Structure 1
Amino acid sequence: MISLVQVAFSNFKFRSLFFRILFLLIVLVVITVLIVGFFANRYSQNVVRSEVKQSSFQMLEQTRRLMDTLLNDVDQITIRLAQNRAFSEALEAGAEGPSPSDVDEIHNYLLDSYITSPYMESIYVYYAASDLVQSALIGPTKSKDMDDAAWLPDYHSMQRTESRWFVREYPDNKNLSQTQVTLIRTTPWTGSPIQGAIVVNMNQQALFQIPSFRLMRQGEEIWMVSPDAKLAFNSNTGREVPVEEFAVVRDKIGSDISAFTGAFRGSEFTFTAVSSPYTGWKYVDLIPTSSLYKSSTEIQSFMLILMAFSILAAVLVAFYITLRIYSPIHSLVQMVNNKKDDWRSATPIREQSELAMLFSAFISMKEQGAEMESQLKDNWPVLQQSFLQQLIHERSKLHEERFAKFAYYQLPVTPNGFFVCVIRIDDYHTYVEKYGSFDQSLIRYFIAKLAGELSGHLYRSYPLHMESRDVILVCNLEASMTAEAFCQDVVETAERMRAAIREYLHLTVSTGIGQLHMQAGDISESYREAVDALESRAFKGYGLIAPSWLNREKNPGDHLLIRKLAELKREILLMFREEPSQSFEDELYKLSEAAEGAEGLPFPLIQHAYFQLIVEVFQRSTELGLPAHADNELADLLEKLLRLETVDDVVHFAQAYIRQTNLRFHAEKKTEPESVAQQILDYIQVNFDKEISLGGIADQLQLDPSYVSRLFRQEISITFMDYVISLRLEKAKELLRMSELTVKDIGASVGYANQRSFNRIFKKYEGMTPGEFRDIHAPKKLHRDEIY
């Protein structure tokens, strides 16, 4: 290197030529590096922006579906009450107000709704004719005597029977919050004029604070905007968004999906908004623009560093090449200037002639070109796999260009149509534990080859070799065929594949088949259809053949599953303290019935719903004193649940856990001394038909009555008197069905000396009088002494 530098500068005549060549090479290389770096950085920013936008819409859609479910559940409560017979009669009672029996029945419904909904702060019914308001805790009272009558102007603004959400101020600042979220449903359900209303006030912090904020990017927020677009609530805290902050986006939120950017909190933010077509609420996702480009900034920094190193390397390489070019030119000029007679004796500058070095360089470049061509042939399968990856993930309208690329990558195809077949290995967790990574790769390769051999007469298949549970085949029909023939032949071929894989590999696989598309640019659509069809495997089990044309539509009623599980949870928790029984097993069986109607829902949503039930049982068992198996028991349960791949497995897992926890509770309970609550339960079982009181029991135990009442309710989940009444009514119903005693005698035998009190309590809890109950449920008999 040093000798070449000395040669280059040995002659001033050619030094300017050296610098011109050097400058030209440096300019060309540096400009090339800068252009490539600029477009690479711009492309990376576009990719990041597109991915963040897609994730924002996914987050908003998740939030919208969750809030629609919660708000719809509250609205369903008002609908069921609006259709209640007692409520209809109470509305038509006139100025004198509803009857006591209707008041009692409506009160029971309001109280049950208030207790079972964690988002409900209060619930009222309003009888317009008598100007009375009845709540879940207080009987009918005049509207002017209510602490909160601020909803009446909103009610009077409603011109027809409908359901509307309002956000209003709290009266007299009696609550720490400044606003109140209220649902008003005017009644009756049909017809006019309006005769009253059902009013539900929500606990806004519990309602609007959703758990998904933990998954958001730094600085990201989701606002839930009221239907009238007056206020918004932050899902991270559940609190109201300050008015001055909400004013920035209020006027820009439309009725459909919208996205915009603007200055906010001293920096630039990106806003994405969607509206719910069911409730009228709007949802806005706010992301600091700086966080959008965080990963892009890292890429940009890397690109700048890479560009700097590239420029430095380019300068060094250009300098070296310039020396190599300049040196033989200088040598040749010297040789021409020598005398003709002694040019043969001229000694070269170096032992090897620079001209020879020049020819040697050309030969070396040729050898390098041949070596690169050989390397390209060796890497051809990698290039083919990259092209197939592009086909299934990117849709294109340039269909002819896609056909040309098939030919370029040496993948022969016909214009008869394309589809994608996804072969999914069942019970993947067991498969990974059983085989090593090398064996797994061999099995996937064998499945792909077997599929190609079995389908060769019908279509060509090009497999994607991915280290995952899926073997993806991009298929191309060999000959044109009708849609009916295609559907039949492809399914039959998939059946043969499944049988052969089971025979040779002792594995079960499920197969999803996408629709046939005639254009090469639509292959990604067929892949998406095949993957969507495979979702039904979670409901139908392993070894499934799932053609996309037989795929059921998505079930929009995902809140029905959540509501059913909530009802079963209450029943299971009430029976949890009891010994294992057939009733308890019946409730557990209903868990599988609830899942039968969930087909079409996303499988992760079903896993989450059943895990929430497991968490409730775990928390209840710990409240009752049952120690956990391990410190991270819930985390272990979640890990096991996520390994399951079918709905049946998830249901059986939940049933087994609840059953095992119940058995553990009673096994440990037998080794402990009898609790105060259990002593009271045993006493009630024997003496429920007598005049007993909690105060008398507390005196006998020498304990404070309020402490005993609280202890009983905490462990039994219901009050002392409700438990006594339930035992008395169960015995009374048994006597009404099986005995011929009079109603008065039956009431006295279960602890009610006064028949009127017995009739009143029986009707309150059962919805009918004892006589009516006997007429419906008692077996009919013939009397010999009577003529019919």
Structure 2
Amino acid sequence: MQWVYGSGSPKRLLSKPIIRIAMVLCIGLLFPLVTLYLLGEMNKEDHLRKELDALSFRSITPYKETLEELFRNIDQNTLAFTNTKAVQRIAQDSGNLEVEQGIKEAHREMAELATANCCDSSIEIYYHQAGLSTSLHNGQQTAVRMEAAAWESYKSMMADKVHWFVDEAMTADAGYPVISFVRPIPSVGNQPQGLIKINFNPSLFQFGFRLPEGQSIWAVTPDGKRMFDLITGKAVTDTRIVDALKRQSPSSAIVKENGQLYGYRLFSSPATGWSFMLRLPPTAFTPANSGKWLVYAASLLLTLAASLYVLLNFSQIARRVDALIHKEVEYGSKMKELLPTVRQHGLQKLLFSGLLSEEDGRHTLRELDVPLAPHGYLVAIIRIEEYERFLQYSYRDQSLFRFFLTKASEEIAEREGQVLYVYDTGQRDVALLFIFEDRGTLPISEKARSLADHLDSTLRQYVPFRISAAIGSPCEAANRIHVSCQHALQTLDVQLFKGNTGVFAYEEQAEDPIYSSELYRLRKETEQHLGKAILSRNRELLGKALEQLQMGLEKLPWLSLPLVQHTFWELTMFIYLKVQEADHKPINPLLLPKLHAERERHKSLSTIVKWCHKLADSMLEELQAPSESGKVNVISKIIDYVHTNFDKEISLGGIAQQLGLDMAYVSRCFKQEVGMTFMDYLLMLRLKHAKYLLANPDLTVGEIGEAVGYVNVNSFIRIFKKHEGVTPGQYREQNFPRELDSNQIY
């Protein structure tokens, strides 16, 4: 090739400075682009895992809680059966003939147990070597003898606290999986004399839940050999994915199926032994944003400029990068300690779960760093009366009141030398767990009563709401804390129905025929059925639950209009809160006063039932359809934003307004997902970062305070000392003492 202009020859062009700079820029642009692409591919799966964790908790919680409640009811019904007089009388018989006759006489109680449960195909009761098998479908009674090997196998299973399993022999005969539940007789002690075995068919899991398209949930048996679809009840024996998830930490995985990525997450239920597996379809995740590569390309020139700056200031930047790496490691380890979802989640288990063993209760207390009580525990419940009026106040005023209630309780308990832990339900009740480390001269219940009276008088002076409190029964074991809580709740219901206000004690309350445990049981059973109906959007189940409640109330000889109105107002509050939970969005709080006025206009049981049915049905119609697949979890967005801007003046109100969401709803969701309030989480981040910066001797306390969001140094020092016990300067002296470097000249 012949060049027309000699000045344009390749050799001369390469010698020009501008061409050399252009070539360097091209090479510099290519290298960062390739690097960014590779890093993006490496972090893609990690991003999907984080999004899977954020989405799975919100998706699984309502269904997991419903199944756990079902298993808990089966266990409680079975436990009640083992304590009936007919079963207890068998224990006094000595010969096999007397035992066999006694078992046959217990058939009526067995039939009542079958009626209380659902989906059970048969109930078997064995005592030593005599037994009775009852088929609930054809009414046959068959006396059977259990072989010694089978009896020893059941004894070993119950000793290992394994209550649920799939009976392979019955499965082979029936042609479908038979799920069995066993409990020892008697229910206490280490040497069982007999057992009760309830056999269920797979319809136990046919809930008909409405799930987003492509999403599935399975209940996995305790031995992990079978799992059941919660929509169809169909059993699956291929559990390889479950085995793989159990080896993961956390128990989640991204699996490629038919060329698409699916998310799997396994949730354990220690109280029941079952596990629950969730599968999210590809549409549930945020689609890849191809436009980000254009942004990366546009930033490459800035990257080159930054590279030059790094070369000129390498030593200083390297030192800061090293400090940031250490900060990331420290922050990651601390977050792992905090996130095993904090004290509130553990307190919720202790207060409301009836399936914890004594060892489980002690283990939960140790996880929460709560001391074991040598002299017992006691629960008190504080309730905001006229809750519908309370909700009309601004969210800021509601939050200030809840904060004041919590801090006032803790400070009063501390002044009186008591150990107290507060659990805020986020609704109208606040639970106080008393832990008595010193017996003292006064009984436990009197100590709690004195503290509750003091708190009641304090709150009446400063808050514009009526507050009532009830003290449950004292208990010695951690797994009995829920009993004390239930006694306190029942006492509150009784006293508030009578129009009383103040502080009440369960032990001072005699059995009241006007508000008996039978009515309390009817209401709680109805709440369970209504919760299931709302989750599955099942109007037929909703109507059936209200119809059964009406029939149960009509059988009570002391039924009165005020009692009916009180009962259905409690159910109205339950429906109101459950709909918010199912819809993941708040309902206008101004609706409650209107509903209260409507209820007062109805003067008979039948009209009140119709009104409640119409209200619940209308709320079901307004329930928001399942969230669009791929929508990023709101709380995940907020956490990312807080991590980026915790050193600035940010507020939950501003964040909620920017997202177009109700502040009360966002606050409630944040606490449910993270285990602490937004302000506590922000404070935790700021203090952790401040403690890291205190390791740098070149920074003053004032500079560190500004770096974590406190313009006023005195405020920073006061807050730091309140939560860490020492000032920032004292913390630095204790943890980062100054040293002399022999290689430096001072």
* TM-score bracket for the superposition, by shorter chain length: 0.3 to 0.5
Specify which structure has the bigger relative contact order, considering alpha-carbon pairs within 8 angstroms and separated by 6 or more residues: 2
The normalised TM-score by structure 2 is 0.42
Q: Considering only CA atoms, is the larger Rg found in Structure 1 or Structure 2?
A: 1
